[in-house]
Structure 1
Amino acid sequence: MDLFGVPPVNSIEAAPAAGRTVTLPWTRWALLGAAGGAAAGSLVAGATSGLASYFARQVLTPARVRPQDLAILAVTGSGAEREIILPATAETTAPGVYSVYFDGGAGHARVGEVTSYSPRERTVQRKVERVYSGDLSRAVRGWWGGSAYPDPAAAGLPSEEVRIAVEGGEAPAWLVPAEHDGRTWAIMVHGRGATRTEGLRAVPAARRLGLASLLISYRNDGEAPHAPDRRYGLGMTEWRDVEAAIGFALARGAEDVVLFGWSMGAAVSLQAADQSVYRDRIRALVLDAPVINWIDVLAYQARLNRIPETVGRFSQWLISNRAGRLLTGLAAPVDLKMMDWVSRSDHLAVPTLILHSELDDFVPYGPSAELAERNPELVTFERFSSPGHTKEWNVEPERWERVVAGWLSQVLRRPSA
């Protein structure tokens, strides 16, 4: 399963109007083309269009249910001595603190250090640091996550629940006050399919620099109001909710802001810095595993799912052209070229720190490095080697916080703690 919830395919699955599923193995394409002539060609074209539409919709449509793709093999001990046994993967064997979500997300446990690893059985055993909700002893499946805490209180942070006026209603957010000063606010923008808990990892570093932190929700994330078309804009629409958050911060006494963005949240932050009426109040961008170029990410995801290159390109066309709206459900096309910051590197006008792992298996780090090469005066690139996507802090929290605090202290001209 990949970033967009698209399973790797060995077949084309298209859903006709009647709702039936048509499955055509790739190996039959050549046979159909050779034997069927024009009719087969028409069928292949229709199947190509169906797969491209399916892929585009998976990219753009918020998932209703999170796949529980992690087997929970056993839970041993009790109380402070509990441990969890999981299949051994690059992520589940990595050092650091993570979360296991279960019971469809109703259950949440924080897991810590690896206590044993069996290459022969391909299992790993980790310490259970805390169960926040649910009965972990009865869980059999769940998913792995990088957000270690469910709320600011669990991370030992004071906070206030606030609501920000956005299109369609109000979006909930956490406001963590500054320890001192508070003229600059950090606005935390989570990634696609994540929630505002993702930004909790950055709050301690921000507080040490005297920043208040606003951890926001935005359209289609399950907390904020849905977009009218109930589709992701990949940053082209979500930035307006960030703009609303900036306006909220300014109304509460902030003079300027720093945007922190993870994955698609970084793409959202880049658009805010480019298009918002408050762009002159954005002092800096801190981007973790950012989507710098959606065209590159979509092409990578297509290859990962063994989707033919022509189909992948067609899905991009559907997303970025008005003619594709009936198939994608978008109210307006997404301008993918406008979100290619490698090509638009000279348009970036805000000091930017990028933290990105060379082992990121969802959003390749190449465009991040290239953007830094093309705009070295404004962009600083910090390369990590953590497995998985947006797990840089989980594997090396001290380094992550040191780099962020050191860089921001220079940009903001403030001493770092």
Structure 2
Amino acid sequence: MSPARKAPRQHGSEEALPRSFWALLGAGVGLGTASAVAASSSALAAYFARRIVTPERVRIEDQEVLAVQGTGAQRRIILKATPETVVDGDYSFFFDAGAGHARLGRLEDYVPGEGTVTRPVVTEYSGDLDRAVRGRWSGVVYSSPADLGYDFEDVLIETELGVAPAWLVPAPNGATTTWAIMVHGRGATRQESLRGLIPARQLGFTSLVVSYRNDGDAPATADGRYGLGMTEWRDVEAAIGYALEHGASDIVLFGWSMGGAISLAAADLSSLRQYIRALVLDAPVVDWVDVLAHQAQKNRIPRGVGRLGQFLLAHPWGRRITGLAAPVDFRAMDWVTRAVELRTPTLILHSVDDEFVPFGPSALLAGRNPEMVTLETFRKARHTKEWNVDPERWESSVVTWLTETLAPRLTPGQGRQLGQ
């Protein structure tokens, strides 16, 4: 029996840094004197570096609600058109500081001249949508495994920092001893990775949907900072240990965005890495330097400011400014340069128009290590919304690839049969 759901706290998919941050950077660059420019650039680079590794506890609700109409199957919401709301697919709308959560269906009407979009309200998980004035768009769709019709348990995983909550979704009829571990991205929570349960369930996997340090669910570190994958993998290792203790023989890691960087680090560094048979990565960060450079260029930030921010994150001296307990090892997380060292079969699903984590490094990684890396290219999905735009293709790609990759470990004929 699944436990009753609680109202979700604020969560969502990984996003770019706030507009206010980029505006502040741009303003600083405009100062008149050389000394003022140097001082401003240093201060802004420090701010840049801190923002990268500091979890955001309050998410900006910048999506305007124009109207909510009807009831039941006829219920509709009219929103201001934005680059996100005009893209087809199912999404979530969070409002009332994250206490309200509604699932919205596929695009029904888009009026460019009026700048409005209309979508059906599929489910209202929590809150009073009629009273919503503003909210936040998200690629999250489901609130808990129960929304998919799956039984689940709330479990606690012992990590080096304390217990981290997870959802355990048992395999149907104990079909296989392969377990899937779902790892969400930066600024998100477990709800982001619920989409991965669908193909995992088809393949007969038991799934663990995990939390990790500093994500607001799991214990925080003393510095309260993201390690961008270089520290969080230890919590994934603890989840692997939990799975092995409870009957797993093989592990597949699913990772979204920074969750991809975490999964790659686990496959590289964990003492249990021999049990990781495959990686399924959605819009993964495979080169943080490229991500940070992309954000700076996109927002017209001088290259030197961005490089100084990277230096502060990577150098032991910068810890006094960033608040990190240890510097970030960008070289260790540069999987484009380290492509031939990746020896775990990996499926990457990535949209060419990703506005936060560029598609290019994923393509380079796949090109440099075609033996281990398979790339499924999507379009018009932006960041971590490949499933939202085309769930059938996303799920079938995962099922087909995992069936072929894990064929000797699945029940004969099972994976192929369930995937078709």
Instruction: Tell me whether 1:239 sits opposite 2:239 in the alignment.
Output: no
One of 137, 144, 150 as aligned partner of 2:130: 137
CA displacement at 1:216 relative to structure 2: 0.2
CA displacement at 1:2 relative to structure 2: 5.0
In 2, distance between residues paired with 1:68 and 1:211? 36
Instruction: Tell me whether 1:27 sits opposite 2:30 in the alignment.
Output: yes
CA displacement at 1:8 relative to structure 2: 5.7
Q: Which amino acid aligns with 1:310?
A: G
Say if 2:200 and 2:207, in contact at 8 Å, map to a contact too.
yes
Instruction: Tell me whether 1:275 sits opposite 2:258 in the alignment.
Output: no
In 2, distance between residues paired with 1:11 and 1:263? 26
Say if 2:55 and 2:214, in contact at 8 Å, map to a contact too.
yes
**Structure 1 pair 189/269, CA: closer, same or farther in 2 (3 Å)?**
same
In 1, distance between residues paired with 2:211 and 2:252? 16
1:310-344 CA-to-partner distances (Å, cap 9, x unmatched) read 00000000000000001100000010111000000
Q: Which amino acid aligns with 2:279?
A: L
Q: Which amino acid aligns with 2:391?
A: P
Say if 1:186 and 1:206, in contact at 8 Å, map to a contact too.
yes
Counterpart in the other structure of 2:195: 201
- 3-state DSSP of counterpart to 2:309: helix
**Structure 1 pair 25/235, CA: closer, same or farther in 2 (3 Å)?**
closer
Instruction: Tell me whether 1:122 sits opposite 2:135 in the alignment.
Output: no
In 1, distance between residues paired with 2:212 and 2:150? 22
Counterpart in the other structure of 2:360: 366
Instruction: Tell me whether 1:110 sits opposite 2:103 in the alignment.
Output: yes
In 1, distance between residues paired with 2:240 and 2:102? 33
Q: Which amino acid aligns with 1:187?
A: I
Instruction: Tell me whether 1:79 sits opposite 2:72 in the alignment.
Output: yes
CA displacement at 1:5 relative to structure 2: 3.2
Counterpart in the other structure of 2:281: 287
Q: TM-score with structure 1 length normalisation? A: 0.93
Instruction: Tell me whether 1:45 sits opposite 2:38 in the alignment.
Output: yes
The Cα RMSD (Å) is: 1.4
- Which consecutive aligned stretches of 4+ in structure 1 deviate over 6 angstroms post-superposition? none
In 1, distance between residues paired with 2:135 and 2:222? 31
Counterpart in the other structure of 1:17: none
**Structure 1 pair 2/215, CA: closer, same or farther in 2 (3 Å)?**
closer
1:76-132 CA-to-partner distances (Å, cap 9, x unmatched) read 112331111111123212221110000010000000022221110111000001111
Matches within 5 A, 1:13-412: 25-29=28-32, 32-33=33-34, 41=35, 43-179=36-172, 180-412=174-406
- 3-state DSSP of counterpart to 1:9: helix
Which structure has the bigger radius of gyration?
1
In 2, distance between residues paired with 1:174 and 1:162? 6
CA displacement at 1:373 relative to structure 2: 0.3
In 1, distance between residues paired with 2:28 and 2:251? 52
Say if 1:189 and 1:196, in contact at 8 Å, map to a contact too.
yes
Q: TM-score with structure 2 length normalisation? A: 0.92
Counterpart in the other structure of 2:3: none
Give the gaps of 5 or more residues in structure 1.
14-23, 34-40
Counterpart in the other structure of 1:9: 22
In 1, distance between residues paired with 2:353 and 2:21? 19
In 1, distance between residues paired with 2:289 and 2:338? 13
1:119-173 CA-to-partner distances (Å, cap 9, x unmatched) read 1011100000111100000001110111111101112111111000112211100
Q: Which amino acid aligns with 1:112?
A: G
Q: Which amino acid aligns with 2:62?
A: D
Count of matched residue pairs: 397
- 3-state DSSP of counterpart to 2:226: coil
Q: Which amino acid aligns with 1:134?
A: G
In 1, distance between residues paired with 2:16 and 2:300? 14
Bigger shift: residues 239-248 or 64-73? 64-73
**Structure 1 pair 226/10, CA: closer, same or farther in 2 (3 Å)?**
closer
1:250-301 CA-to-partner distances (Å, cap 9, x unmatched) read 0001001000000000000000000000000000000000001000001111
In 1, distance between residues paired with 2:391 and 2:136? 22
Say if 1:76 and 1:84, in contact at 8 Å, map to a contact too.
yes
